[in-house]
Amino acid sequence: MSVILGIDIGGSGIKGAPVDTLSGKLLTERHRIPTPEGARPDGVKDVVAELVRHFGHQGPVGVTFPGIVQHGRTLSAANVDKGWIGLDADALFTEATGRDVTLINDADAAGLAEARFGAGAGVSGVVMVLTFGTGIGSALIHDGVLVPNTELGHLWLKGDKHAETWASDRARERDDLNWKAWAKRASTYLQHLELLFSPDLFIIGGGISKKADKWREHIHLTRSEFVPAALQNEAGIVGAAMVAEQRAGGRRAEEAPSPVEGGAA
């Protein structure tokens, strides 16, 4: 068993748990701390460090971020403080926690977890994971391989409708939509993605995945299949742990002595 701490940064809460990366199971209950007002880097790093202390974790840590993450840097900040843009967040969290931290986009983390342990396990071809919450996150996976940072929640629909502003779960609450009315918007968005990418399967995640019975019958697509996320709100934590383990494994391989250095013939 390989145990990695996964931490998922959200708009309202930052939650974490140790993960068995061989099974994708959380080993304890999640611990959640409210996201600091404004989600500024200094406040968020303090919460991440608090979660590491809470679990007494000594090994690598995986952390999700709700924006573009490239080589450890956060390059966008649609729903958090603009101070994240261009920040070396890997270094920020590594210094704050004293642990090796690997950062990944939150929807990408959820996508990896669902593809390996959840609703996408064993599914070949193109799988698209969408997380409906404060915004809309997206993960594009082909035969288990992630194409990172797709950010498809920022597409424009019918010329004047910004997808996540119009069809996210926050938009549903803001506009006081019932589930059928929200599903009509979501269907318009999914049909647009279906036209662009022809996925074999959509996995619908985020907070709404726990309420699939309320919207499932109202989603209408032309040819792609869709299912609710199986891991629900645990997917980000699991995916964060997966990428941290992968990075740690790569480092171990780099540091291992060659046969000559190790004295083997």
Rounded distance between C-alpha atoms, residue 43 and residue 93, angstroms:
11
At 199 the three-state DSSP class reads: coil
Domains of the chain, start order: 3-104 (3.30.420.40), 119-230 (3.30.420.40)
At 154, list the tokens: 């920022």
At 116, list the tokens: 């390996």
Q: Among residues of the chain, what percentage have pLDDT more than 90?
A: 85
Give the CA distances from residue 208 to residues 3, 133, 233, in Å, rounded to whole numbers and listed in that order: 28, 7, 9
Q: Is 202 exposed, middle or buried (0-12, 13-18, 19+ CB in 10 A)?
A: buried
Q: So what's the pLDDT on residue 212?
A: 95
| Angle formed by the axes of helices 89-97 and 41-55, nearest 10° | 40
Residue 264 has pLDDT above 80, yes or no: no
**Average pLDDT of the chain, as a whole number:** 92
- pLDDT, one tens digit per residue, over 198-249 is 999 999 998 899 999 999 999 999 999 999 999 988 999 999 999 999 988 7
Contact 103, 241 (CB under 8 A): no
Rounded distance between C-alpha atoms, residue 74 and residue 71, angstroms:
9
Other beta carbons less than 10 A from residue 258's beta carbon: 7
Rounded distance between C-alpha atoms, residue 186 and residue 262, angstroms:
57
At 7 the three-state DSSP class reads: strand
Residue whose entry in the numeric block shows the structure tokens 């998922």: 8
Question: pTM score, two decimals?
Answer: 0.89
Q: So what's the pLDDT on residue 256?
A: 56
Q: Report residue 255's pLDDT band, with 50, 70 and 90 as the boundaries.
A: low
CA 19 from chain center: how many Å?
A: 15
Rounded distance between C-alpha atoms, residue 61 and residue 48, angstroms:
10
Identify the helix (H) or strand (E) that includes residue 262: none
Please give the single-letter amino acid code of residue 264. Answer: A
Give the CA distances from residue 41 to residues 52, 84, 120, in Å, rounded to whole numbers and listed in that order: 17, 6, 33
Contact 167, 133 (CB under 8 A): no
